[in-house]
Amino acid sequence: MFTLNCKGQLLTITKPIVMGIINSTPDSFYAGSRTAVDDVLRKAEQMITEGVTIIDVGGQSTRPGSELISAEDELKRTLPAVEAIAKTFPDQIISVDTFYASVAKAAVDAGASIVNDVSGGSMNEDLLITVAELKVPYVLMHTKGSAQTMQQLAVYKNVTTEVFDALNNQLVNLIKMGINDVIIDPGFGFAKTGVHNFELLRQLSFFTHLGRPVLVGLSRKSTVYKTLSVTPEEALNGTTVLHTIALLNGANILRVHDVKEAMQAIKLVETYKEEKR
């Protein structure tokens, strides 16, 4: 069991939960996740009805080779969505997907209560200081470089131990800074090849030794659709298969585009585990 303090609202994780993705971006790799502000509340309501625990709002595409946008532009995309969800669904836990300190602070002030940082604290030196001051949970993800350079840096002798060591070292730094509520994300697809992603999935239980909730972000990614020779739009079935493997190997949080299907996978895996015992 894990407990996270989300601005006074305690999130207790006794079984796997779902983080639903709302992208306020024009160039997300999966078109179905690109959500205009007018559609945010409809999408959020659907996710809540389907059983989502956290809604993750992002304004910057982090797919390989994507164009970096400024904090100001990201804020214009992100803040209206966070404000709308927080106002309409005041009990909903919202995370903001950003590596900019200014965006994180504005989003938390507007109603977000988790910071999801794909850079692991490497893209903006003020972000971790800001998270410590805000006293909100932090998603620590492993990557190398930026979205523009990471695929050239996907080189490892042992991807599992190297990713684990990097996360462990940064976790120690976070604790020293006073950031204690940390979620671990191995960073599937970030400075990783398909081979690396499958190896990390096989060894996912290794990351539970960090003593923090483990988040898995595999939804409709290239590891799924390139392996199956389909498009991201056709990758739901493959995503569910990998989610099932992740759950069996210790995943606590699934970050997904499709909440209903992820919740079904969790229910089936949890029932399987109960029957097994």
Task: Show which residues are catalytic.
Answer: 221, 255
Structure tokens at 171: 């976790």
**Helix H or strand E segment including 185:** strand 182-185
* Angle subtended by helix axes 127-134 and 159-177, to nearest 10: 60
Single-letter code of the amino acid located at 184: I
Phi then psi for residue 62, to 5 deg, are -115, 20
Task: Specify the 3-state DSSP secondary structure of 41.
Answer: helix
3-state secondary structure of 267: helix
The residue written with tokens 């999130």 in the block is 11
Burial 242-260 (b: 16+ CB within 10 A, else e): bbbbbbebbbbbbbbbbbe
CA 126/CA 115 separation, integer angstroms: 13
